[in-house]
Amino acid sequence: MANKTIQTDEMNFENLKEEDLGEEVKFTFSKDVFGDKSLTCWECGSKMKRIKTLIDLPSTDLKAAIEVFKCEKCNVEYLNGEQAKKYDKVLMIAKAFSKKGFMFERSLNSDGDNYLFRFPAQLTKGWKKHQKVDINPLSATDFFVSVKE
């Protein structure tokens, strides 16, 4: 009964009571639940094809090549969880290049042939000593730094 009530459009979420929810439901997810190898179209139920496409990045002239699942009947495109994470990272990088995200200005120091800068403490919560980082040079003055877990 509770499931039927929740699925109808008549549910009043502002006055929702605990007894309206019914019994507790537990879910178990497989290890690769968000890395689906295939998807079924929500519109028509047909199997979707995995394709590469270019997606415009907002507020830039850039495009990102990304894999999507496309329904050939409905012409609808979906991302699985793994693809969505990658797209989120691309959007964050595009936002950083547009200079619209928040920034920290740091002094660049040198120690012989090595150049150093420090990360603000606000960004390093959860980091451990001796962790490794990947540094991807994008240009002579732009770098993408990723802390390995």
Residue 21 lies in a domain: no
Which value, to the nearest 10 degrees, does the dihedral of the CA atoms of residues 55, 51, 29, 8 take?
Answer: 70
pLDDT value at position 130?
92
pLDDT value at position 138?
79
Residue 142 lies in a domain: yes
The count of structural domains within the chain is: 1
Residue 114 lies in a domain: yes
What's this model's pTM, rounded to 2 decimal places?
Answer: 0.50
Residue 25 lies in a domain: no
Residue 18 lies in a domain: no
pLDDT tens for each residue of the chain, 149 residues long: 444 444 445 666 677 777 777 677 676 655 555 566 778 888 888 888 889 988 887 777 778 888 888 999 988 888 888 888 888 888 887 777 776 667 788 899 999 999 999 988 888 998 999 999 999 887 888 888 889 88
Asked if 122 and 102 touch (Cβ cutoff 8 Å), the reply is no
Residue 139 lies in a domain: yes
Residue 117 lies in a domain: yes
| Residue-number span of the structural domain to which 124 is assigned | 34-99+107-147
Residue 43 neighbours by CB under 8 Å, 6+ apart = 71, 73, 74, 76
pLDDT value at position 91?
83
pLDDT value at position 114?
93
Residue 6 lies in a domain: no
pLDDT value at position 1?
43
